[in-house]
Structures are given as C-alpha cells and as structure tokens.
C-alpha cells in the first residue's frame, strides 16, 4: 500500500487539472493505496523567504501557513503527485510556492521516493507543455524521486472542457497501476 499526497495547484476548484487528480485518486484508491489530496485553495502557502531559518532549526519554517499541514502529510508519504494547470508555461505560482518551501526538507529529509505529474493546458502539449514537464523533471531529479508517470491534458481551456476526455481514464489507470 502506497501513501500518496496529491498537491492540487489550481485556484479553480473542480477545474480540469483537479479532475485529472480525482481520476488518478479513484484509480489509486481502487488499488488499495491511501491518498490525501491537498489543494492550494485550502492550504495557502507563501513564498520561501530564503532566510535559512529551516537550516538552523531541523527543517522548521519560520513562516506559519498552509505548509505545516502539507509537510505533516508529506512526512508520512512515499509518493507525491503534482496536479496543476499550466500558467505561462509552468505550474501555478501557488504550487511553485509549495515546491520552493520544500527547501526546508533539505534539513529534514522527506521519506518520499517517487512522483507523478498531472497537468492541463489550453494550448498543445509540445509547444505549451514542454517547460512544465522539463521543470517537473528537473525538480524531481534534484529531489531524487523516481518518476511514476506524466499525464498532460492539452487543448482544455474552459472549466469543464476535460469532461469525457479519454485522458481521464489514463490518469485513473496510472493510479490503479501503482505497485
Ligand atoms: C493565468 C493563466 C495562464 C495560463 N497560461 C497558459 C499557458 O501558458 N499555456 C497554455 O496552454 N494554457 C494556459 N492557460 C490555460 C490553462 O492552462 C487551462 O485553462 C487549464 O486547463 C486550467 O486548468 P484548471 O481548470 O485546473 O484551472 C492559462 C490560464 C490562466 C488562467
């Protein structure tokens, strides 16, 4: 049984990327994995201050916000999933703030060993998704996480546009296929 934290980076509740996340979660739960979804709307996180307080205090951040609850889950997880819309060729700033705050985990390493990316975007995957995937790869490589899968829903701009898209089944299958 895997313990998975899904970080949902859209400020738009029930939008395209959250529906990808929910499909993934359905699959993972049906395979017996334990999943916690945390949305940037419910756990607002400020940007890292770069003060290095965490380095002197065993990974504790000086800022008190949604990140403490996110860290609490991440310290019990073995997989993290980044679900995000593409905003200006990258993850949303809200989710990037969470990633930046993972800096504190250099001082207190996380037990997480693998990751996945679920992203939605209005344009097409080659032109508009590339930097998001590159950024995911470089961040997870730095964190020494094994990639379990990347699923990108392109050409979905408006809120419910992903409904009925077979990519939702792909996301569900990814969750279900986790060992
Ligand atoms: C601020 C903003 C920036 C965006 N930037 C891009 C972009 O660079 N490339 C793209 O293809 N789509 C872009 N989009 C479209 C979103 O990626 C697309 O609507 C996505 O499916 C929204 O996901 P959500 O419903 O989960 O919020 C942008 C949308 C917004 C609101």
CATH of the domain at 116: 3.40.50.360
Give distance in angstroms: CA of 34 to centre of ligand 1.
29
Arithmetic mean of pLDDT over the chain = 98
Please compute the mean of the pLDDT values over residues 102-126 and round it to a whole number: 97
Would you place residue 95 in the very low, low, confident or very high pLDDT band (cuts 50, 70, 90)? very high
Site residues for ligand 1, CB cut-off 6 Å: 10, 12, 15-18, 85-89, 120-123, 128, 156-157, 159
Nearest CA to ligand 1 atom 23: 85
**Position 154 confidence tier, pLDDT thresholds 50, 70, 90:** very high
Task: State residue 82's pLDDT score.
Answer: 98
- Measure Cα distances from 171 to 64, 96, 105, 132, 143 in Å: 33, 22, 28, 17, 23
- Counting ligand 1 atoms within 8 A of each CB, the residue from 84, 121, 159 with the most, and so the one to mutate, is 121
Domain count, the chain: 1
Ligand 1: centre distance to CA 69 (Å):
27
40-52 mean pLDDT: 97
- From the list 58, 96, 69, 87, the residue with the least C-alpha distance to 5 is 69
CA–CA gap between residue 80 and residue 3 (Å, rounded): 9
Which two structure tokens, joined as six digits, stand for 127? 């032109």
Q: Looking at the CA of residue 121, tell me the nearest atom of ligand 1.
A: 17
> How far does the centroid of ligand 1 lie from the alpha carbon of residue 87, in Å?
5
Domain that holds residue 79: 3-177
Q: For the residues 79-89, what does the mean pLDDT come to?
A: 98
pLDDT of residue 109: 97
pLDDT band at residue 133 under the 50/70/90 scheme = very high
Q: Is 118 helix (H, G, I), strand (E, B) or coil?
A: strand
Tokens for 111?
């037990």
Q: Which residue has the tokens 């995000």?
A: 84
User: What number is the average pLDDT over the span 71-96?
Assistant: 98
pLDDT of residue 108: 98
Nearest CA to ligand 1 atom 31: 87
Residue 118 pLDDT: 98
Residue 43's closest CA among 22, 72, 17? 72
Nearest CA to ligand 1 atom 1: 87
pLDDT at 51: 98
Tokens of 35: 């999943």
Q: Residue 28: what are its φ and ψ, rounded to 5°? A: -65, -40
pLDDT band at 27 (very low <50, low <70, confident <90, very high): very high
- Averaged pLDDT, 12-28: 98
Task: Provide the percentage of residues in the chain whose pLDDT is more than 70.
Answer: 100
Cα(40)–Cα(66) distance, integer angstroms: 8
pLDDT at 114: 98
Protein residue whose Cα sits closest to atom 30 of ligand 1: 87
Provide the 10 A C-beta neighbour count for residue 113.
Answer: 15
| CA of 158, closest atom in ligand 1 | 19
């Amino acid at each position: 049984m895997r313990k998975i934290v899904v970080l949902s980076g859209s400020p738009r509740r029930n939008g395209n990327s959250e529906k990808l996340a929910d499909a993934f979660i359905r699959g993972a739960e049906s395979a017996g994995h334990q999943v916690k979804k945390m949305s940037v709307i419910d756990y607002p996180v400020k940007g890292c201050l770069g003060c290095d307080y965490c380095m002197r205090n065993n990974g504790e951040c000086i800022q008190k916000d949604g990140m403490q609850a996110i860290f609490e889950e991440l310290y019990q997880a073995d997989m993290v999933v980044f679900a995000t819309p593409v905003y200006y060729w990258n993850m949303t700033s809200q989710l990037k703030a969470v990633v930046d705050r993972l800096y504190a985990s250099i001082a207190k390493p996380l037990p997480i060993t693998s990751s996945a990316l679920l992203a939605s975007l209005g344009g097409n995957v080659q032109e508009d998704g590339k930097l998001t995937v590159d950024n995911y790869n470089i961040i997870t490589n730095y964190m020494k996480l094994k990639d379990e899968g990347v699923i990108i829903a392109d050409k979905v701009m408006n809120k419910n546009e992903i409904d009925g898209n077979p990519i939702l089944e792909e996301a569900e299958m990814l969750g279900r296929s986790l060992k």
